[in-house]
Amino acid sequence: MMQNDLFSSITPVMEKLAEGVFLFRDYVDTEYFYTQIQDIFKQAPLRHMITPGGKRINVSGTSIGKAGWYSDRKGYRYEMIDPVSQKAWPAIPQRFMEIANKAAARAGFEKFLPDSCFINCYEPGTRLTSHQDQDEKDFSQPIVSVSLGVTAIFQLYGDQRGGTPMNIPLHNGDLLIFGGIARRYFHSVKKLEKENHPLTGDRRFNLTFRKAL
């Protein structure tokens, strides 16, 4: 601990972007997160899932935690066993839990204890179409998202799939909280531009911490 460091005691800035939506810029230790997810991918590889309608999801993903979000012809759901590795999903690192929990508490969501974290990987040109996150049990719990690497534009709509969104650029290290009235809002991620980031190359990673069960 740097007890005498003037900055060590300063509380990170939290911006309120809308009712239920909070942003902490440059909040996490991205090298630590990136090292951890590389290790996770060895156990639960990134994969392209299939929508219930049979479309390949261009953004690849995997999960950590007790439950992992999954999609195939049978539907969207949470799975306790990774259908690819046939093993339990890797555990959420303790430090990830602490970071998500502490930020959520600052935003007014006490006792946020995620049991699932979905990790997305965006390659240049990929995007995430407008959706609601509604496969979780308890909507009073927020979702906490951490972005790594290339900047993406996160688009927040309302109760409808389209319309004019609020555009939120998410940079390396940013942490976004999505709860309360906004928990069921539609949102999307714009097509990733071809850029180079020192940590992740041309890719972007996003981790979404949830209380799924």
12, 31, 109, 192, 204 from 198: Cα distances, Å: 24, 10, 33, 16, 11
Residue 187, classed as helix, strand or coil, is strand
Q: Cβ(196)–Cβ(203) under 8 Å?
A: no
Shortest Å distance, C-beta 177 to ligand MD6? 8
Q: Does 120 bind ligand MD6 (CB under 6 A)?
A: yes
Among 133, 174, 175, 212, binds ligand MD6 (CB under 6 A): 133
Binding mask 128-167 for Fe ion (x = CB under 5 A): -----x----------------------------------
Question: Pick from ligand MD6, Fe ion, none: which does 33 bind, CB < 5 to 8 A by kind?
Answer: none
User: Binding residues for ligand MD6, how many (CB under 6 A)?
Assistant: 12
Shortest Å distance, C-beta 187 to Fe ion? 6
Binding mask 167-206 for ligand MD6 (x = CB under 6 A): ---------x-x--------x-x----------------x
Counting every residue written for the chain, the total comes to: 213
d(C-alpha 160, C-alpha 104), whole Å: 26
Q: Are strands 187-189 and 60-65 parallel, antiparallel or unpaired?
A: unpaired
Shortest Å distance, C-beta 73 to Fe ion? 21
Nearer to Fe ion, 82 or 133 (CB): 133
d(C-alpha 126, C-alpha 205), whole Å: 12
In 3D, which of 47, 20, 25 has the Cα closest to residue 146? 25
In 3D, which of 172, 180, 183, 179 has the Cα closest to residue 207? 172
Question: Pick from Fe ion, ligand MD6, none: which does 145 bind, CB < 5 to 8 A by kind?
Answer: ligand MD6
Among 104, 117, 143, 148, binds ligand MD6 (CB under 6 A): 143
Site for ligand MD6 in 78-107 (CB under 6 A): none
d(C-alpha 53, C-alpha 37), whole Å: 29
Q: DSSP state, 91?
A: P
Question: Pick from ligand MD6, Fe ion, none: which does 206 bind, CB < 5 to 8 A by kind?
Answer: ligand MD6
In 3D, which of 196, 170, 210, 183 has the Cα closest to residue 25? 170
Q: Which residues of this protein are in contact with ligand MD6, per CB under 6 A? A: 120, 128, 133, 143, 145, 154, 176, 178, 187, 189, 206, 208
Q: Which residues of this protein are in contact with Fe ion, per CB under 5 A? A: 133
